[in-house]
A and B are shown apart, each in its own frame.
Chain A
Amino acid sequence: MEPSLVNAFPPTPLNLIGGLLLVAGTAFLLLGGLGLVRMPDLFNRIQAGTKATTLGTLLSLAGVACLQPDWSLKLLLIGLFILFTNPLSSQVLARSAHRLGSKQSPLTRVDRLAEDSGEAP
């Protein structure tokens, strides 16, 4: 029951790069979570909660692929799924919220969707 992490990864350059990528990715996840808490309205929250976490997850996947090169194929598949589906789901959610008339921050200047559908800007 001793920690299996000890001596599992010798400090070779590839492992160090992997660890640093992992920390960078989770730092982006943390920034995404912080933006999720701090942003003023729903659309800004969607942006923070989706873009930052997508980049963070992709960086973490790259870090794990550096630490365990045998898992590269599966990690690549997960990364492709996240890269394709995450922007799509955030766009669907943002369009639904816009259609429901979700409240916008008073700092919002441009609303192209409302202009395109002919409503008042």
Chain B
Amino acid sequence: MVETLVMLAAGLAGTAFLLALWRFVKGPAAADRVVAFDSLTIISITGILLVALAEGRGIYLDIALIYALLSFLGVIVIARYLEGGL
């Protein structure tokens, strides 16, 4: 029962990943791709959570923590570059 719900969650997260990836490939401007990149990072945090659940290993959450930090820094650096201030 719970396992079915976890599998359903993985399917939904995978579909969300594919949709954001489509925006990344298609996105007309660079800023669109930056938004898609940010969303992809956050969706992959949930993917890491699901993998940690499936394997039952709590140490995998450290990588999710690193990504939670890095998406912020990356978006700020890229926004500064696009503004012309880097």
Most B-side CB within 10 Å, residue of A34, A50, A78, A92: A78
Expressed in whole angstroms, the minimum distance between the Cβ of A95 and any Cβ of chain B is 8
Residue-wise, chain A 63-95 has the 8 Å CB interface mask toward B (1 for contact) of 110011011001101100110011011101101
Complex contact B29–A102 (CB within 8 A): yes
- The B interface is mostly helix, strand or loop, or mixed, namely helix
Complex contact A36–B9 (CB within 8 A): no
State the interface size on chain B (CB cutoff 8 A).
54
Complex contact B65–A68 (CB within 8 A): no
- Chain A residues closer than 8 Å to B39, beta-carbon distance: 32-33, 36, 49-50, 53
- The A interface is mostly helix, strand or loop, or mixed, namely helix
Complex contact A78–B68 (CB within 8 A): yes
- Chain A residues closer than 8 Å to B65, beta-carbon distance: 74, 77-78, 81
List the interface of chain A (C-beta within 8 A of B): 3-6, 8-11, 15-16, 18-20, 22-23, 25-27, 29-30, 32-34, 36-37, 42, 45-46, 49-50, 53-54, 56-57, 60-61, 63-64, 67-68, 70-71, 74-75, 77-78, 81-82, 85-86, 88-90, 92-93, 95-97, 99-100, 102
